Structure 1
Amino acid sequence: MSAEENNTSRRTAQWWQRLGSALGGPWAPRARAGSGHVRCEPDWSWRLVLSDYDLWCVRDGLGRARLNGRDISLTAGCLLMLRPGDEIEAHHDPHSPLTVTYQHYAHDDPGQGEVAGACPPHLLPPRLVHLDDLPEVRRHLDGLACLRRRPGPDTSARTTAALAALLLEIHAQAARAAGDLPALMDRRIHDVVEWMTCHPDRRLNVRAAAASAELSADQFSRLFHRETGESFRAYQVSVRIDRARELLAESSMTVSQVATALGYTDHRLFTRQFKARTGIAPGAWQRSS
């Protein structure tokens, strides 16, 4: 499959389903010896021909690398997905040393149960990924490190699952960079949305939300609409009604109890807003669930 075909296919849900199935089954990644989180020594340099797969994530610092003849700047959020046979040379600025996390791994050969020399190319992320969400990748890597520190009979299975999840995340970030998936929500808006979702009973005014995002009210309102497609007020109502639908369908609470729990002092307003967004009254929704 060509790079162009691969990029096109990454826009489809079927491609992601096949990728998830492959990484969770016949081509599951298996951790190998060689992993860690290090701050490279001042005189550090690297010159190697890879014998396996190596995930190499720059978390801090500055450096340069030459990968298969390609020059690469190494900065925080730069991820190298190295493959067997890759040739790499690297060094860093001793005044801004690299801090990296790495993990060597292999893929199982379908039907053989043995380490394979080459995984199908469409299952591999690009060799260079500029992460747009380094904290999420760090979270996965830190989880792998925690598993390594707690060896037990479950370690192999859990490490394989964790590695597969990490590779899917890397694929997603590479796809976003290529325009095959939507960009991440602006972090300032994301944090406000998370707060509203966790506190559907609370009322947050736009000025307080803007202040938390360190924006003016007008800047915040424009950015919020651009990122969510709704006004701030409409989004708040949507969050409350979404929670109301869950409570009415999955709990034994009455319509009045749900309205009160979600901060409505006027239950008629709750009914109007619920019907405007679902097409039916809350009582009818509960009976049909």
Structure 2
Amino acid sequence: MCAVEDHPHGTEEWWDRLGAVLFGPWAPQAQPGSGHVHCEPDWSWTLVLSDYDLWCVLGGIGRARLNGQDFTVTSGCVLMLRPGDEIEVRHDPANPLTVGYQHYTHGAEHRSATVADTCPPHFLPPRHVRLDDLSEVRRHLDGLARLRRRPGPDTRARVTAALAVLLLEIHAQAARGTGALPPLMDRRIHDVVEWLARHPTLRLGLHDAAASADLSADQFSRLFRRETGQSLREYQVAVRIRRACELLAESRMTVRQVAAALGYSDHHLFTRQFKDRTGTPPGAWRRSV
């Protein structure tokens, strides 16, 4: 993923400060002007921005000129426009653009436009981001649209929170493009990991896991270890032990009941694996929490 501007190589402290900004004094306020549209064949866009605009290309192909810089826009491109930006976009009538967009400002509603539009610039995302996970951004945009279609006394607060989360997602995807954050887990491994998290009591064999990812057993094993740092078996044991910790801390189940619930026919094997990963036998661990 590439961006027209470099994303700040923030530390954990920088991300904490960004969160405080987006959920605090410079919380984004949605403005009129939002939607999900299939642009008409003869459509074009020329504008000098008076507010902020998140403009996400969901399909099609076009050419943009932003503050004098020309580039191609295709599916997965997001323009994060700011007040005063000059934007021109045209598209291929044979492959017209589909876009999702949301206009917004920063700061409390009662503040003047001059104050509201002075969000610290180092907390603004790059103006041009190529996403590595368009589906996640689209999910957030669809959520905002649903909120707007069902207005109520909670709508403004929920839209503000949802928009702040969306902006954090844009920041994160821009940061992954510059190496400031690690890349996403391979989707095939992610799906297996999610299944294991939801089914800690079940055992997933290597060949079944590989088949679900459409890989050979050897390919899957190498990819799984690269993405998680563990073998499939080691990872499954870790998942079961994490669940065991939750059950021991939060339920009245005995250690033997926990072991049985997690599929252990051998209580001693459960105790050994638990101690190997926590440093403490399950009974002693329970008494310590």
Normalised by the size of structure 2, how large is the TM-score? 0.95
Give how far 1:113 is off.
2.9
Mapped to 2, the partners of 1:124 and 1:252 lie a distance apart of 49
For structure 1, which segment, 184-193 or 247-256, has the greater mean C-alpha deviation from structure 2 after superposition?
A: 247-256
Secondary structure in structure 1 of the residue aligned to 2:197: helix
Q: Which amino acid aligns with 1:113?
A: R
2:121 aligned partner, one-letter code: P
Cross-structure match for 1:209 = 209
Contact 2:107 2:117 in 1 (8 A): no
Query: Is contact 1:79-1:129 (8 Å) kept?
Result: yes
The aligned counterpart of 1:104 is 103
Q: Equivalent residue for 2:8?
A: 7
User: Hey, what does 2:173 align to over in structure 1?
Assistant: 173
8 Å contact kept, 2:53–2:81: yes
In structure 1, stretches of 5+ residues that fail to align are none
1:220 corresponding residue in structure 2: 220
Name 1:276's counterpart in structure 2: 276
* Partner Cα separation in structure 2 for residue 160 and residue 117 of structure 1: 16
Contact 1:55 1:103 in 2 (8 A): yes
Q: Which amino acid aligns with 2:61?
A: L
CA distance in 1, matches of 2:27, 2:112: 11
Residues 58-97 of structure 1: pairs in structure 2 closer than 5 A: 58-97=57-96
Give the unaligned 5+ runs of structure 2: none
Count of equivalent residues? 283
Contact 2:29 2:108 in 1 (8 A): no
Equivalent in the alignment of 1:114: 112
Indicate if the aligned counterparts of 2:65 and 2:89 stay in contact, CA closer than 8 A.
Answer: yes
Is the Cα–Cα contact under 8 Å of residues 200 and 239 in structure 2 kept in the other structure? Answer: yes
Post-superposition offset of 1:109: 6.3
In 1, the alpha carbon distance for the partners of 2:120 and 2:258 equals 51
Q: Which has the higher contact order (CA 8 A, sep 6+)?
A: 2
SS at match of 1:207: helix
Aligned-pair distance for 1:114? Answer: 3.4
Give identity over the alignment, percent.
72
- Write the distance in 1 (CA, Å) between the matches of 2:152 and 2:265: 53
Alpha-carbon distance between aligned partners in 2 of 1:94 and 1:268, rounded to the nearest angstrom: 69
Instruction: Tell me, yes or no, if structure 1 residue 131 matches structure 2 residue 141.
Output: no
Which letter maps to 1:207? H
TM-score computed with the length of structure 1 as normaliser:
0.95
2:76–2:132 CA contact under 8 A, matched in 1 = yes
Task: For 2:69 and 2:243, locate their aligned partners in 1 and report how far apart those are by CA, in whole Å.
Answer: 51
Q: Aligned partners of 1:42 and 1:18: how far apart in 2? A: 43
Q: Secondary structure at the match of 1:7?
A: coil
Alignment of 1:32-47 (within 5 A): 32-47=31-46
SS state at 1:183 partner: coil
1:108 and 1:114 in contact (8 A); partners too: no
Task: Answer yes or no: is the 8 Å Cα contact 2:271–2:281 preserved in 1.
Answer: yes
Corresponding position: 1:261 with 2:261: yes
Q: Let me know the Cα RMSD of the aligned residues.
A: 1.5
- Which deviations, in whole Å up to 9, do the C-alpha atoms of 1:209-228 show, x marking residues without a partner? 11111111111100110110
